[in-house]
A and B are shown apart, each in its own frame.
Chain A
Amino acid sequence: MGRYVTQRLLLAGLTLLLVSVIVFTLLRVVVPLVYGDAVDIIAAEYGGTDPELVQQLKDDYGLSEALVPQYLGWVGSILKGDLGESLFNGRSVAGEVADRLPVSLELGLVGLISSVLFSVPMGVAAAVAQNRWPDYFLRTSAILVDSIPGFWLAIMIITFGSIWFNWAPPLQFEYLQDDPIAHIKIMAMPALLIGLTPSGALIRLVRTQMLEVMRQDYIRTARAKGLTGRTVVMAHALRNALLPVVTVIGLSLPGLVAGTAIFESIFSLPGMGQYLVSSVGNLDYPVIMATVFIFSVLIVLSNLAVDLSYTIIDPRVRL
């Protein structure tokens, strides 16, 4: 088991290294090549084409060095926890991220947890009632939920909430530590909507996995021993059926957190997605690179968590 864990950790580290190279190449090599250097753009926007000023700016931001030292410098400062400064307002990216990442993580996590709490029982119910009306109903709804874009649902709720009940989502954001009740009021709706998107696929997955497992010999044995239907389904079938489900849950978390960008813009929440959207608009390179890299770290970490959780759920992996 120790060997498996070390191997996974090393691979995760290697992946992050490659990601950092790709992100750096994309934003510091490809973009300047096809479009232009950040500093030239800023200088042009302030009307200054003074070559000395441009050079001064480049020196300030460490852009006049060769690419390899630039890359090493970037990685080095990330390792020290320094994500650089915004080119536009000079604010520290790390400080901004410290405020914003919890908001996005909260949205993604609450969404995911509510999605799992909702989908697993639904999937089990559909499997237990295979080819009877609850099954048909749940399968049809799952396909529908799968096709409906979450952001459209959010717009529908806001539009009709305002037409029918004169309701609108709160405009003023409150942090959890400042005003817990107002915070929950603000976050509940977007978090639940974020959770709805993966629910359709999850219900279908749980259902097929349950059906697959229910056909196994050990389930027949369990029934033959005289165990009640509930014990068989919950203790014997569900635990085995959940293995691939854990994978899908873990893999969908980063997408959820990144996808919060849309909901953050609809409900005007100060999260990472909103930060990225405004920085992309300004071509704020340090912010874009840091955000992309942070999201990648998140993805690699949740993949790692999935791999490691196997050792707990499925004892066979430990061998």
Chain B
Amino acid sequence: MAATRSGTLDLGQGRFVTEHALPMTMLLRALHFVRRQPLGTVGFLIVLALILAAVFAEQVAPYSPDKQNLRHRLEGPSADHWLGTDYTGRDTFSRLVYGARISMMVGFGAVVIGSTGAAALGIISGYLGGWSDKIIQRFVEAWQAMPGLVILLTILGIVRRMENVNVVFAMVLAIGLLSIAGSSRVIRAQVFTIRHQPYVEAAKATGAGHVRIIWYYILPNVLPLILVSMTVARGGVIRAEASLSFLGFGPAGEPSWGQMLSIDGREHMRRQAGLAIWPGVCIALAVFGFNIFGDALRDTLDPRLRQG
């Protein structure tokens, strides 16, 4: 499919036009993506909707997520409460909207940490090569052999006991750090193939320093890979957050989708099934959105798939 898609032509034009009309080129590229990747566009729209819900939760949600109304407990959907209420009469829809906040914060935060770390580690290990690479890779292997969920439970179990630490922040940091090892290997492999390319050798011959070579010659070539691993990882990260909150290791006090499904509410689900349905739908939708958007982005950006 790539041969007819004229990716190189696009790239050429993009570079040529850059000085004059960057927004125009970007718009064209976006339209191109929409036409080529309809499913990916759906994913993007889901993601966009969730981000907007998270950012404008105060405006979107009809009620405060913590406002109890004991006269309207465990109600079904109605004009007042679109998705019903829970056992203290809190509005389910509003809680879901606020729940998007934690999900998106962890989703984006952890992925930024994970990808930046993975890029740094992968580039350094791949660029240095030799013994330093061997040593770094042994550590990466050990890192990957650590059971993710188990480590997360341990870390968060301890963090939750500490008074002056933000649990969401700890969650972001822990999930992010754990995801570094896996994606760093992909980036390292890519750096390995480019570090002896003629243009890198040429740069070396002109006396460019290591930092300059990495910044101007290596990084641009692994950037698509980093971008793709960021989007693909996000579905898993959101699921990890939901699992942790579900097990009761998430932030207390703020509504989150996983926590809404947790054991505290389970006896009430029998009376009001919506309480079991909607948070799960939100998690599935978020993971689904990121997955199909990530897949489409990979098809478009991954240099290894372009030639396919």
Q: 1/0 per position for B229-268, CB-CB distance to A under 8 A?
A: 0000001000100110011010000000000010100100
Q: 1/0 per position for B257-281, CB-CB distance to A under 8 A?
A: 0000101001001100100110110
The reply on A134 being an interface residue by CB < 8 A is: no
Interface-centre pick from A143, A153, A259, A280 (highest chain B CB count, 10 A): A280
Whether the pair A148, B276 counts as a contact (CB closer than 8 A) is no
Q: Which of B239, B263, B284 makes the CB contact (< 8 A) with A265?
A: B263
CB distance from B215 to the nearest CB of A (A): 31
Q: Which of B145, B239, B277 makes the CB contact (< 8 A) with A303?
A: B145
CB distance from A22 to the nearest CB of B (A): 6
Known A22-B146, A158-B266, A258-B148; 15 more pairs at CB < 8 Å:
A18-B139, A23-B146, A147-B285, A149-B287, A152-B284, A153-B280, A156-B276, A156-B280, A159-B266, A261-B149, A262-B246, A276-B154, A277-B153, A280-B249, A299-B147
Question: Contacts A15-B138, A277-B153 known; A144 to B247 CB distance under 8 Å?
Answer: no
Interface residues in B30-53 by Cβ distance below 8 A to A read: none
Q: Which of B147, B235, B280 makes the CB contact (< 8 A) with A254?
A: B147
Whether the pair B242, A35 counts as a contact (CB closer than 8 A) is no
Interface residues in A141-155 by Cβ distance below 8 A to B read: 143-144, 146-149, 151-153, 155
The reply on A121 being an interface residue by CB < 8 A is: no
Whether the pair A31, B243 counts as a contact (CB closer than 8 A) is no
A sample of 6 cross-chain residue pairs with beta-carbon separation below 8 angstroms, ordered by A number, consists of A19-B146, A147-B284, A148-B287, A262-B246, A277-B247, A283-B157
Question: Contacts A143-B288, A155-B276, A156-B276 known; A276 to B150 CB distance under 8 Å?
Answer: yes
Interface-centre pick from A16, A151, A281, A299 (highest chain B CB count, 10 A): A151
Q: Which of A15, A16, A19, A159 makes the CB contact (< 8 A) with B273?
A: A159
CB distance from B46 to the nearest CB of A (A): 10
Residues of A within 8 A of B249 (CB): 280
The reply on B283 being an interface residue by CB < 8 A is: yes
Whether the pair B147, A258 counts as a contact (CB closer than 8 A) is yes
Residues of A within 8 A of B150 (CB): 258, 261, 276, 291-292, 295
Whether the pair B261, A155 counts as a contact (CB closer than 8 A) is yes
Residues of A within 8 A of B158 (CB): 31, 35, 280, 283
Q: Which of A14, A153, A292, A303 makes the CB contact (< 8 A) with B147?
A: A292
Task: Please report the number of residue pairs spanning A and B whose Cβ atoms sit closer than 8 angstroms.
Answer: 129
Whether the pair B247, A262 counts as a contact (CB closer than 8 A) is yes
Residues of A within 8 A of B161 (CB): 35, 283
Q: 1/0 per position for B123-165, CB-CB distance to A under 8 A?
A: 0000000000000001101111111111101100110011000
Residues of B within 8 A of A14 (CB): 138
Q: Which 8 A-B pairs have the closest CB atoms?
A: A280-B157, A152-B280, A18-B142, A147-B288, A295-B147, A147-B287, A159-B276, A258-B147
The reply on A247 being an interface residue by CB < 8 A is: no
The reply on A206 being an interface residue by CB < 8 A is: no
The reply on A296 being an interface residue by CB < 8 A is: yes
Which residues of A line the B interface, CB within 8 A?
11, 14-16, 18-19, 22-23, 26-27, 31, 34-35, 143-144, 146-149, 151-153, 155-156, 158-160, 162-163, 254-255, 258-259, 261-262, 265, 276-277, 280-281, 283, 288, 291-292, 295-296, 298-300, 303
Taken together as a complex, chains A and B put the C-alpha atoms of A11 and B292 apart, in Å, by: 36
Q: Which of B147, B246, B270, B291 makes the CB contact (< 8 A) with A146?
A: B291
Query: Interface residues of B: mostly helix, strand, loop or mixed?
Result: helix
Residues of B within 8 A of A16 (CB): 145
Whether the pair B291, A280 counts as a contact (CB closer than 8 A) is no
CB distance from A36 to the nearest CB of B (A): 9
Residues of A within 8 A of B270 (CB): 159, 162-163
Whether the pair A299, B243 counts as a contact (CB closer than 8 A) is no
Taken together as a complex, chains A and B put the C-alpha atoms of A254 and B150 apart, in Å, by: 11
Whether the pair B162, A259 counts as a contact (CB closer than 8 A) is no
Which chain A residue shows the least CB distance to B308? Answer: A212
CB distance from B302 to the nearest CB of A (A): 14
Q: Which of B149, B154, B276, B280 makes the CB contact (< 8 A) with A149?
A: B280
Whether the pair A149, B145 counts as a contact (CB closer than 8 A) is no
Residues of A within 8 A of B263 (CB): 265
Residues of A within 8 A of B287 (CB): 146-149
Question: Contacts A258-B149, A292-B150, A292-B151 known; A151 to B243 CB distance under 8 Å?
Answer: yes
Which chain B residue shows the least CB distance to A288? Answer: B154
Interface-centre pick from B138, B141, B149, B247 (highest chain A CB count, 10 A): B149
Whether the pair B142, A148 counts as a contact (CB closer than 8 A) is no
CB distance from B153 to the nearest CB of A (A): 5
Taken together as a complex, chains A and B put the C-alpha atoms of A295 and B153 apart, in Å, by: 13
Whether the pair A151, B246 counts as a contact (CB closer than 8 A) is yes
Whether the pair A15, B276 counts as a contact (CB closer than 8 A) is no
Taken together as a complex, chains A and B put the C-alpha atoms of A93 and B150 apart, in Å, by: 17
Whether the pair A265, B247 counts as a contact (CB closer than 8 A) is yes
Taken together as a complex, chains A and B put the C-alpha atoms of A296 and B249 apart, in Å, by: 22
Taken together as a complex, chains A and B put the C-alpha atoms of A265 and B144 apart, in Å, by: 25
